[in-house]
């Protein structure tokens, strides 16, 4: 399903199809909300939230979770899984941004060979790195409730990154949706096929 949605959105962006009207509608309404926002602190919070999509924050968080998972499981498999997630992220997002070369909301032309705005790199980086980190940490959690809370918190955090990117007019709505779809596909493939440590090696009983 995510692959179908991603394919449709990509085709519409490349062909400048009618679905792009959604982008313009969302941007118009969000800019109106931003202009009428009486709380400057909300703008500051949104700006800081987008930082979770920056590699200088998301990659160290993934690295920390990977080290913890490797130590707890006494295995190098979490390290391999994290590397595969990072490779899949950069092997899809960067080429996509270069090949599609979509201008951002400000409308400035994107020179050929430079990075465009589609799919959203911050959205994808946050979702893949933090999603992988949550999955690796969950492997050693015996409590179903703790795992569910970890997943829910991570999903909320990554959703907030995309929303705040739109709030600050850094990305079109469909850029962010494409980033979420791509991240979901990568995480699904990772969880399905990546090597995982034997839970019997964990320190947990």
- Its pTM stands at 0.93
Q: What is the pLDDT of residue 113?
A: 72
* Confidence category of residue 109, pLDDT binned at 50, 70, 90: confident
Looking at the predicted structure, is the pLDDT value of residue 204 above 50? no
Domain ranges of the chain: 2-14+41-201
- Mean pLDDT (whole number) for 57-71: 96
pLDDT at 199 over 70: no
> Is 23's pLDDT higher than 80?
yes
Q: What are the tens digits of pLDDT across the range 76-92?
A: 999 999 999 999 999 99
Model pLDDT for residues 113-155, shown as the tens digit of each residue: 778 999 999 999 999 999 999 999 999 888 899 999 999 999 9
pLDDT at 171 over 90: yes
* Range with the poorest average pLDDT among 75-79, 89-93, 99-103, 105-109: 105-109
Q: What's the pLDDT band for 202 if we cut at 50, 70, 90?
A: low
Terminal C-alpha separation, the chain: 38
In the block, tokens 């096929």 appear at: 193
């Amino acid at each position: 399903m995510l692959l179908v949605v991603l394919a449709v959105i990509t085709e519409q962006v490349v062909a400048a199809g009618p679905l792009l009207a959604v982008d313009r509608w969302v941007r118009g309404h969000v800019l109106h909300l931003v202009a009428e926002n009486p709380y400057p602190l909300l703008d500051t919070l949104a700006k800081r939230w987008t930082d979770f999509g920056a590699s200088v924050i998301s990659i160290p968080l993934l690295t920390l979770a990977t080290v913890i998972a490797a130590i707890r499981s006494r295995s190098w498999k979490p390290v391999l899984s994290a590397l595969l997630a990072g490779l899949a992220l950069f092997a899809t997002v960067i080429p996509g941004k270069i090949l599609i070369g979509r201008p951002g909301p400000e409308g400035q032309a994107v020179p050929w060979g430079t990075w465009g705005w589609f799919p959203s790199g911050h959205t994808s980086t946050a979702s893949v790195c933090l999603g992988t980190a949550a999955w690796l940490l969950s492997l050693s959690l015996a409590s179903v409730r703790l795992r569910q809370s970890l997943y829910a918190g991570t999903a909320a955090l990554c959703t907030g990154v995309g929303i705040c990117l739109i709030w600050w007019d850094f990305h079109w709505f469909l850029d962010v949706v494409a980033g979420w779809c791509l991240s979901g596909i990568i995480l699904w493939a990772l969880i399905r096929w990546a090597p995982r440590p034997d839970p019997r090696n964990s320190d947990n009983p």
